[in-house]
Every structure is written in C-alpha cells, then in structure tokens.
C-alpha cells in the first residue's frame, strides 16, 4: 500500500440523511481528493449501534445515542487517501457543532450536540478506523480502483 491508501470509516447520520446533506458530505470529501471505496445506505439495528458506540456504554447519553443512530437510515462509507482518518476529522469539525469552526461540516450544518450530521473514525484511537470498517463492511465490499485525478492530487502518482 502506498502512503495515500489509508482508509477511514465515515457515516452520514440520520439527521444528515433527513436534511438532504448526504450529497453535500460526499461532494466535500470527493472534492478534497479522498476516494470513495465503499458505501451502504442502511438502517442500523440496535445490536450494531451498541457495538459501534461500545466505548460510550457507560456514558449518560448512551441510550439516547443508540436511539438516535437507529432512528432512520444512514449512509455508511469507507474513504481512502493520505492521512484520511485525521483529514476527515478536520473536515468534520469539533463534536459539538456549536463549537465547530465555520467551514467544517458540523460547523456549517449543525447546532445540536447529539444531531451532528456526520461520524468519522477517531484518529487518536489507534485502529478505530479498521475496527469500524470491519463492523460495517465485508472485505469484498471495498472496491480497489484508481481514480482518474489521482496524479493531480498526489505529486508522486
Ligand atoms: P465524535 O463523534 O466527534 O467522535 P464522541 O465523543 O465519540 O464524538 O461521541 C460520539 C457521539 O455521541 C457524538 O458524535 C455525539 O453525537 C454524541 N455525544 C457526545 N457527547 C455527547 C453528550 O455529552 N451528550 C449527548 N450526545 C453526545
């Protein structure tokens, strides 16, 4: 794998889907130069929600979080690129949209801590990206292809 093959898990949350922001999120990530390698429009069941948010099971907001993430369809995706996990987090902005910088996805589209439009793997949690990708996708659902603009995104391509 070359240095720009890092993969990260990204999800447009139920509020983002209902507010017709799925296309906007995809557009921002693809225009940045990140490459979409898997996508699944789906409804998360309680079991998957509890696994995905397992690290928060002792938090007071855990039940609300599971209820929210299972409340409507989501767009689950895998994106690939140089430093992809951290770069997506930078584009998402702070967890609380009220504090997220303008220009970030949460800073531009959210006002409420629990309904914050997008999820992306935590780059500070080693291996979180791989774990989350595995939870939502089979290996054969990840598509390996070259994007036509790659030589214009990466100088060494
Ligand atoms: P992240 O999504 O920016 O990685 P986490 O701390 O992993 O943030 O929290 C997961 C999700 O749980 C957040 O995106 C947000 O929707 C929700 N959340 C986090 N903290 C709170 C809280 O204090 N109250 C209610 N919901 C919260």
- Kindly list the structural domains of the chain, giving each domain's residue range(s) and its CATH number in brackets, ordered by start: 7-142 (3.30.70.141)
**How many helices (DSSP H) and strands (DSSP E) are in the chain?**
8, 4
Give catalytic status of residue 52 as yes or no.
no
CA dihedral 127, 130, 134, 140 (to 10 degrees): -160
Kindly report, residue by residue over 65-90, the tens digit of the pLDDT: 999 999 999 999 999 999 999 999 99
- State if residue 115 touches ligand 1 by the CB under 6 angstroms criterion: no
Our mutation pick for probing the ligand 1 site, out of 10, 65, 71, 88, counting the most ligand atoms within 8 A of Cβ, is: 65
Cα 52 to its chain centre, rounded Å, is 12
Percent of the chain with pLDDT over 70: 99
Q: What's the rounded Cα separation, in Å, for the pair 90 and 107? A: 11
Flag whether pLDDT at 1 surpasses 80: no
pTM for this predicted structure: 0.97
The answer, yes or no, to whether any atom of ligand 1 lies below 6 A from the CB of 116, is yes
């Amino acid at each position: 794998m070359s240095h720009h093959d890092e993969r990260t898990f990204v999800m447009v949350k139920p509020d983002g889907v209902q507010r017709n922001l799925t296309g906007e999120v995809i557009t921002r990530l693809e225009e940045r130069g990140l490459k979409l390698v898997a996508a699944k429009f789906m409804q998360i069941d309680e079991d998957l929600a509890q696994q995905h948010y397992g690290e928060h099971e002792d938090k007071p907001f855990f039940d609300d979080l599971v209820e929210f993430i299972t409340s409507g369809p989501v767009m689950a995706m895998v994106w690939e690129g140089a430093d992809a996990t951290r770069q997506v987090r930078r584009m998402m902005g702070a967890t609380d949209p009220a504090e997220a910088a303008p220009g970030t996805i949460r800073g531009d589209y959210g006002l409420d801590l629990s309904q914050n439009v997008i999820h992306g793997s935590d780059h500070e949690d080693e291996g979180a990206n791989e774990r989350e990708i595995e939870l939502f996708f089979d290996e054969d659902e990840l598509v390996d292809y070259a994007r036509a603009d790659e030589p214009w995104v990466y100088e060494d391509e």
